[in-house]
Amino acid sequence: MQSNKHSAPMDTRRSRIARHLRKWRRRHGHGVQAHLVRGLSYGVGSGAVSLLILWVENRF
């Protein structure tokens, strides 16, 4: 079996990136979820207002 010289540095780099992403997610994960919910709420709200305006225009 041949050993790969680049295997160890790549494993170290991958573990460092994974660790960094886990830390980032811990720090910012709730903020991302809050932004997603807020964005969905704004989208649903603006869609509802648009439908209401269309209904009023067609009704009267």
What are 42-54's pLDDT values in tens digits?
A: 999 999 999 999 9
Q: Where are the alpha helices (DSSP H) in 1-60?
A: 7-59
At residue 3, what are phi and psi to the nearest 5 degrees?
-90, 145
pLDDT at 6: 57
Q: What is the pLDDT of residue 1?
A: 46
First to last CA, the chain: 81
Question: In the prediction, which pLDDT does 2 show?
Answer: 52
pTM, to two decimals: 0.49
pLDDT band of 25, cuts 50, 70, 90:
confident
User: CA angle, corner 21, sides to 43 and 27, nearest 5?
Assistant: 65
